[in-house]
Amino acid sequence: MRRRTLLSAAPLAAVTAAGLAACGSGSGGGGSDDSPDSLTYWASNQGTSLENDKEVLTPVLKKFTEESGIEVSLEVIGWADLQTRIQTAITSGQGPDVLNIGNTWGVSLQATGGLLELGDAEFEALGGRDRYVEAALATGGAVDTAPTSIPLYGLAYGMYYNVKMFEDAGIEPPTTWEEMVEAAKKLTDPDKDVYGMSLAAGSYTENNHFAFINATQNGAALNSEDGKPTSTEDGVVDGILRYLDLMQEHKVVNPSNAQFDNGTKSVTAFANKQAAMIINQNNANATIESQGMKPEEFKAIPFPAPADAVDDCASHLAGINLAAMADTDNRDGALAFLKFMTSPETQAELGKPFASLPVLVDGEPTFTEDSEQADMFMEVYSERSAPLPLVPWEDQFETTVGQAMNSMFATIATGGKVTREDVLTAMQTAQDSIRA
């Protein structure tokens, strides 16, 4: 099967969630109240809770204020709301000065014209393009354009498993999809409310990620060379059905997981010993431990591909980018903030609590003291990850394909049957919607 080394050349795609909630608005003209001594910052939820993010970021932002004299007003926004808040801010002209974005949104938000373009002068203020991992920086905009965001946190998926449950059952960590399914079957006991796996089956963001990963393992692409969606390819349809069958055919996922609308809920099931395995990004460590599991009680391995897979993709290239609004009243301060947040010192300080992978050249992971786990995630990030389509319609892919999978999981959870033809019909509808 194919392997890849992407960190030096390929675009990095993201951990994302398109929000549907209504949005409040900040101050006009980019949020800084026309003051060179203040900035407003919208941060994404990277820690165990919104409050945890504030606790982590507040002392970091205080250091920036001490160094620059610029006060930072912080708001942490959950993933369910963040993209809608950003879109509304761009449309209304009322928003922050600087903000986090899911890096798969890089091209679509660039196309709005609402984010500050980062040309040669801006990168000189940031310390140069060559500070950043090339693949990570490529997510900031379309090919051959000036980007409008820079990488902030790198992430990758892994499969976490409960060490004791595996040892008690005499099971070795799986290296193929088939081994994973067999292990999950042995560890499933519905009478005890214990299942082999837990999935965020009601999260359209998680679902679209695994539509992409499974399709890539099958050698299929979600977009053509000319940038058109191709979600009806056999490899896409078969990959989605394979994922749905964890609940439908193999019955190793609790049907109640169809209501899990974010990854934290599957992490909770895992921490409560209600599931032996979860597939989550490397920032799950902090949440797992916050819910009572000790580091030695769980391990992570690459998400396995089928034995006959065309490609051993184990994750999409995930991460968070940092941008400034085009209409900020404190352009110099915003650039200073971007440079500070991506300095080696700040990256190392935030890498541990937010369990992120380094986006700077020669950066080292600090999110875990387990060198084996750190090396595994770095291998997935650099060699076994593929970029989600870096196209303006990527956000539509997330919502149409992801929500279609939500509906199919809900059908399965309530006793219905989802056939291959049903998946094909749903993907045709999604593709037609995007092309329209």
pLDDT, one tens digit per residue, over 108-155 is 899 999 999 999 999 999 999 999 988 889 889 988 899 999 999 999
The pLDDT of residue 135 is: 80
Region 36-62: what's the mean pLDDT?
94
pLDDT tens digits, one per residue of 255-308? 999 999 988 899 999 999 999 999 999 988 878 988 999 999 999 999 999 999
Give the residue among 350, 357, 409 at the shortest CA–CA distance from 379: 357
Region 344-350: what's the mean pLDDT?
95
* pLDDT of residue 35 exceeding 80: no
* pLDDT of residue 9 exceeding 80: no
Which residues are CB-contacts of 104 (< 8 A; sequence separation ≥ 6)?
Answer: 13, 14, 15, 16, 139, 316, 388, 390, 394, 395, 398
Predicted confidence band at 224 (pLDDT cuts at 50, 70, 90)? confident
Region 381-390: what's the mean pLDDT?
83
Q: What is the mean pLDDT of the chain?
A: 89
Predicted confidence band at 10 (pLDDT cuts at 50, 70, 90)? very low
CATH of segment(s) 38-155+317-386:
3.40.190.10
DSSP readout, 53-115? HHHHHHHHHHHHHHHH--EEEEEEE-HHHHHHHHHHHHHHTBS-SEEEEEGGGHHHHHHHT-B
Tokens 């970029």, located at residue? 387
pLDDT tens digits, one per residue of 271-282? 999 999 999 999
Q: What are the domain boundaries of the chain?
A: 38-155+317-386, 156-316+388-432
Give the residue among 141, 132, 65 at the shortest CA–CA distance from 101: 141
pLDDT tens digits, one per residue of 164-218? 999 999 999 999 999 999 999 999 999 999 999 999 999 998 999 999 999 999 9
Region 230-237: what's the mean pLDDT?
96
Judge whether 38-155+317-386 and 156-316+388-432 match in fold: yes
Neighbour tally for 204: CB within 10 Å: 23
CATH of segment(s) 156-316+388-432:
3.40.190.10
Predicted confidence band at 31 (pLDDT cuts at 50, 70, 90)? low
* pLDDT of residue 225 exceeding 90: no
User: Side-chain half-sphere of 222: how many Cα atoms within 13 Å?
Assistant: 30
Q: What is the pTM of this model?
A: 0.81
pLDDT tens digits, one per residue of 316-344? 988 999 999 999 999 999 999 999 999 99
